[in-house]
Structure 1
Amino acid sequence: MLEQGRSGCPINLSLEVLGDKWSLVIIRDMMFGDRRHFRELLNRSEEGIASNILADRLHRLTGNGLVTRAPDPSHKQKVIYSLTEPAIQLVPVMAHLGAWGRRHLPVTRELSVRAELLERGGPELWGELMDELREQHLGTPRAAGRESVSARLRAAYEAELARD
């Protein structure tokens, strides 16, 4: 499960698990980009992660209990990565990081529109997204009749791209 760090400080321990450049980016891509295969994570990375770094971080995230790895039932030679409950519970953290970045860093409009929607939606939207991720990654059914948060975020991003 999660590694034991040098100190029992919760911030230090969290940073030991998530504090490198790539771990949160991989979780972001799985969470908001529905990227579940190695090639998708590698080839669709806006930041251009190297394959050896991706393999290492996926191994670490799996070892720390944030991601699982299983054979893909749709393709014998592929594996599918899934977020675990502890990773899904990072949705509010990711929303706050995105909001902070929008306010204080030179972001691009198309890449910040999802962060804006998450910030505006607040805890209610974050909860809906977490339920959706639980359904996708853990197989936990969610309440019927709710519009997909991922679809709303993707539509906002695509609309922003179309404006340019």
Structure 2
Amino acid sequence: MEQAATLGTMSTPARPIAYDAGLVPALKQDHNDLVALFDEIGSCARHDRFEEIPPLLTRFKMNFEAHLIAENVRFYNYVERALEGDSENTMLIRSFRREMNAIARGVVDFVKKYQLNAFDEASKSAFIDDYQAVGDLLAQRIQREEASLYPLYQPA
């Protein structure tokens, strides 16, 4: 019994995330793929093919979440550790991370809202408005990440 209690308290030290020269190019490729998929969703709406939208939204959400996991685990953890003594950049990184969590909730809510069996005229109009708002938000975020955040990812 004593041994079981001891085993529960043992922990292995966390290994630091290693620098990966291919990470930022992979994250940028994710951005390109997400934008292309989001554009395909918009094309369906513009061509009144709303029945195709729910499965595309599900695929978008899955790809978006996979991107966020890679970014959180591999990018943010590395950069936060590498820039530990740099309070200005640490604040910038944390701000980006908080903002992304809010955007992620908004994307998930958007996807859930439009998992409809059929779109009526009101839901079509609402979708187009919401699609534009989410698209604008994502485009701004991607631009800011690639210009301001990704350059912070450097070998130690």
Task: Report the TM-score when normalising by structure 2.
Answer: 0.25
1 or 2 for the larger relative contact order (CA 8 Å, sep ≥6)? 2
Q: If each structure's helix is expressed as a fraction of its own residues, which one has the higher value?
A: 2
Q: If each structure's strand is expressed as a fraction of its own residues, which one has the higher value?
A: 1
Task: Report the TM-score when normalising by structure 1.
Answer: 0.24
Structure with the greater alpha carbon radius of gyration:
2
